[in-house]
Structure 1
Amino acid sequence: MAVAPPPTTDAMTLLDYPSRFDVTRWPLEVERFLQGTANSFHRSILKNYYRHLLLELSGYWDRIIVPELTVDHPVYRVGDRGTVAVLEGRDAVETFYRETYEARVNVMGARTMNMCVEDFGVTTEAYWTHVVPGQYLIDHRHDVAADTDAHYLMNYNIFQVFAYTSDAKLIGERIYVDSASYTYEKLAPDEVVTPDQARSELAPLLARATLS
């Protein structure tokens, strides 16, 4: 018997999201959050965050670690399954984004999330997913059997902190995955969102995601 969640607005308790993945859902939620934010400094941070995420999802990996968005020496900490990868400097962080794009796993997003912005930056906790080819799933999780001709939603809980300077440039990210939360959903062919489809669907959002 299903137990109803207690009265709350906590996204990670409610887990209220459509069953079909929509690559525009998360960006549009961020855009609405930005529109509801009055503090001018927080708006500048969110504009940076919003443009960054759209570039990443659209596969424009070489446009993220640039002077107008990111400091000269960004530092990322990415924790998953008992290890933490520390990425320091432009080359290391840019390689992280390039390899994500080349593996064709840049189609991703929060299916639902908690989000806040403060002077230090942006914090999110999300039920996250990537659209991944079956072979990537096998390479990523050797304990998982997958159809190499199919695509999957790779889901997990994630906590992210995005730190910004006093002039709203990204310093780095601290990303921690709940390794016990991984689940996998095999997609029907008509449910797969390819990187090319994502780039096309996100183009109107990216066009209006300016820093001004």
Structure 2
Amino acid sequence: MAAHTSLATHDAMTTLDIPSKFDVTHWPANVEKYLHQTEKPLHRAILKNYLRHLLLEVSGYWDQIIVPELTIDDPQYRVGDRGTVLVLNGKAEVENFYRETYESRVNVMGARTMNMCVEDYGVTTEAYWTHVVPGTFLHDHDIDAEPNAHYLMNYYIFQMFAYTSDAKLIGERIYVDPVSYTYEKLAPEDVVTPEQARAELAPFLARATLD
């Protein structure tokens, strides 16, 4: 998709105003801005849940996401990517998904630019998305990746997070544009490790309460 920076529009996917380097704090900082502009109590409660969820996920606290204060007892996920749909039913399957992401060290991710909408049903986003991944993770991608290198794996993604009327996560429906993948090999000094991400996001997580 080509950027159209000359057009007068608020559509982030048209302008594609993307930072030149991946910054793990960019996404949560923009969610915080959106939250500050949101007035309806239910919408604020949903966004606070969403923000805490994403910070826990990217920080690697996978075992603190599917908990009663954030998520219903029987969450339902659908994750569509490259011709397949992963269907996850219930706490054990969803929690295992997050655990495997953490153990594979591919939990460092975020939107480099994003459209976001919050309504009574939940949060909808469309984003230019990035994962920091080791070359070994890309073995089934159409790229001759160096196993010992790290890459930015970029693609377009549509996400719908559904919530109850008391702002508990019901589940996620995530669909990736399969032809949009691009890869950027990172210089060693530009790699954001899971440990670095956890440290950089710590101040965000400390203030991301549900109060």
**TM-score bracket for this pair, using the shorter chain length:** over 0.9
CA distance in 2: counterparts of 1:194 and 1:19, whole angstroms: 18
Q: CA deviation at 1:138?
A: 1.7
CA contact (8 A) 2:13 2:128 kept: yes
Given the superposition, is the C-alpha separation of residues 170 and 188 from structure 1 closer, same or farther in structure 2, using an over 3 Å criterion? Answer: same
CA contact (8 A) 2:58 2:198 kept: yes
In structure 1, what is the equivalent of residue 72 of structure 2? 71
CA contact (8 A) 2:4 2:15 kept: no
In structure 2, what is the equivalent of residue 99 of structure 1? 100
After TM superposition, the score normalised by the length of structure 1 is: 0.96
Runs of 4+ in 1 over 3 A off after TM superposition: 2-5
- The CA deviation string for residues 5-38 of structure 1, in whole angstroms up to 9 with x for no partner, is 4221111111101110000000000011001101
In structure 2, what is the equivalent of residue 126 of structure 1? 127
CA distance in 2: counterparts of 1:118 and 1:161, whole angstroms: 11
In structure 1, what is the equivalent of residue 152 of structure 2? 153
> For the aligned residues, what is the CA RMSD?
1.1
CA distance in 2: counterparts of 1:110 and 1:179, whole angstroms: 17
In structure 2, what is the equivalent of residue 20 of structure 1? 21
The number of residues matched between the two structures is 209
Q: Which runs of 5+ in 2 are unaligned?
A: none
Q: Which runs of 5+ in 1 are unaligned?
A: none
In structure 1, what is the equivalent of residue 207 of structure 2? 208
In structure 1, the residue corresponding to 2:170 is in which secondary structure? strand
Identity of aligned residues (%): 74
CA distance in 2: counterparts of 1:179 and 1:163, whole angstroms: 23
In structure 1, what is the equivalent of residue 50 of structure 2? 49
In structure 2, the residue corresponding to 1:73 is in which secondary structure? strand
Aligned residue type for 1:118? E
Aligned residue type for 1:165? T
In structure 1, what is the equivalent of residue 117 of structure 2? 116
CA distance in 1: counterparts of 2:149 and 2:71, whole angstroms: 36
Q: CA deviation at 1:60?
A: 0.2
In structure 1, the residue corresponding to 2:17 is in which secondary structure? coil
In structure 1, the residue corresponding to 2:192 is in which secondary structure? coil
In structure 1, what is the equivalent of residue 191 of structure 2? 192
Aligned residue type for 2:115? N
